[in-house]
A and B are shown apart, each in its own frame.
Chain A
Amino acid sequence: MIKLNVNGQAREVDADPATPILWVVRENLKMPGTKYGCGIAQCGACTVHLDGKPIRSCSTPVSAAEGKAITTIEGIASEDGTLHKIQQAWIEAQVPQCGYCQSGQIMAATALLEKNPQPTDAQIDAAMAGNVCRCGMYGRIRDAIKSAADIKQPSKVEA
Chain B
Amino acid sequence: MLKFIRMVALPSLFVLAACGTDPAPGPVEQIIVREPGAAPVETAVASAPTDSNPASSLVAEGKAAFANCSACHSLEQDAPHGAGPNLFGIIDKAAGEASGFAYSDALKASGVIWAEAELDSFIADPAAKIPGTTMVAGAIAEPAKRQAVIAYIASVTAN
Contacts and interface: CB of A to CB of B under 8 A. Distances in A.
A and B touching (C-beta < 8 Å)?
Answer: yes
B137 A18 contact: no
Contacts of A41: 136-137
Contact of A18 (B71, B83, B136, B142): B142
Interface string A28-40: 0000000000011
What does DSSP make chain B's interface, helix, strand, loop or mixed? loop
Given A59-B137, A63-B142, A42 B83 contact: yes
Given A18-B65, A40-B72, A42-B83, A63 B141 contact: yes
B124 to A, nearest CB: 11
A39 B140 CA distance: 16
B139 interface: yes
Categorize the interface residue count of chain A.
10 to 19
A17 B141 CA distance: 9
Given A18-B65, A18-B145, A40 B140 contact: no
B89 interface: no
Contacts of A40: 71-72, 83, 137
Nearest to A66: B141
Interface residues of B, number: 13
A79 to B, nearest CB: 32
B157 to A, nearest CB: 26
B137 A17 contact: no
Interface of B: 65, 68, 71-72, 83, 136-142, 145
Given A39-B71, A61-B139, 12 more contacts: A17-B141, A18-B68, A18-B140, A18-B145, A40-B72, A40-B83, A41-B136, A56-B137, A58-B137, A59-B137, A61-B140, A61-B141
30 contacts: A17-B141, A17-B142, A18-B65, A18-B68, A18-B140, A18-B142, A18-B145, A39-B71, A40-B71, A40-B72, A40-B83, A40-B137, A41-B136, A41-B137, A42-B83, A56-B136, A56-B137, A58-B137, A59-B71, A59-B136, A59-B137, A59-B138, A60-B137, A61-B139, A61-B140, A61-B141, A63-B141, A63-B142, A64-B139, A64-B141
